[in-house]
Amino acid sequence: MILVTGAGGFIGGHLVRYFLDRGAKRVRAVDKKPLPLWYQRHLGAESLCLDLAEESNCRRACEGAREVYQLAADMGGIGFIEHYRVECMRNGLINTHMLESAYRAGAERYFFSSSACAYNTELQKDPDVAALRESDAYPAMAERGYGWEKLMAEMLCQEYTAERGLQTFIARFHNVYGPHGSWNDGREKAPAAICRKVAAAKRDGADIIDVWGNGTATRSFMYIDDCTSGIDRITHCDTFAAMPVNLGSRELVTVNQLVQLVENIAGVSLGRRYDTAAPHGVNGRNSDNTLLYRHLKWEPNTQLAEGLVPTYEWIEKQVMGA
């Protein structure tokens, strides 16, 4: 049986569908949100509403699980993780209880969704940033709150492999985007936020949108289909056991370029009002995929201009129906 936690969220919901589409017969989907609030709910999966900050719920979730994909976390885009650091750090309860419960249940493989926020922020001050290698997480200077918790959870996974023999696999996600996720609840990330703002401006006949920061910060953005495929590939590559590995695109763009791509899809041209007081994170971040490609002969390859099309179309539908 495959267990996906955080299955009512963005990546988790897509991952459940990924496994079902590939013929998985038993998939258990778990999230703390009430079932009607899940972004996606799949009839072929057993869907449970459980708060995994409670150890007893983790034990229930892990019963009979052969593979565990731990994506449950209280998180969101930069606005959320900068304003709710306590909630982000309390994810340590989930990760501690899930590892122990998976180990006790006899799980064979355990995947943990880490984040590029675990990287040393001192290396991310320049928009013209060098792509981050896995070793760049140390010496540690992770993003406050969310990044430090992810780094500690990585270490816990590694120790469960070394001391208890649970095969753990760790991917550091770099800015995942796509349809069927947060777009207007304060947890949305930059691509969804820009898509929403552009769609709303188009609907309202406005000629300007607000952009957090000054538009020059750089990021790479990974489309959701590359993310789910990468999770599967990493978790079934024994070389990556207990080894954090980047999972992200290496197509580096500025925020201004991201806005321009969304405008092109929407068929509009808008002015930009920069809010430099808003949360905007590090100045530059990109993914070095050398390690990933060396062992898989694969890396995320969906171009941003391509992946933004279904993303914008889905968000525009939500905006028009709001």
For residue 245, the one-letter residue type is: V
Q: Omega before 127 cis (within 30°)? A: no
Residue type at 221 in one-letter notation:
F
> Which of 239, 3, 249 is CA-nearest to residue 111?
3
In 3D space, the residue among 138, 146, 126 whose CA is nearest the CA of residue 282 turns out to be 126
Structure token digits, residue 65: 């699980």
By the 8 A CB rule, do 21 and 42 touch?
no
Q: Are strands 167-173 and 245-247 parallel, antiparallel or unpaired?
A: parallel
Degrees, nearest 5: CA angle 27-31-36: 100
d(CA 160, CA 272): 48
Matching residue, tokens 């590995």: 245
From the candidates 69, 84, 110, 146, which is the catalytic residue? 146
Joined tokens for residue 68: 């565990």
What's the CA gap between 91 and 89, in Å, rounded? 5
Note if 293 is an active site residue. no
Q: Tell me which residues are annotated as active site.
A: 146
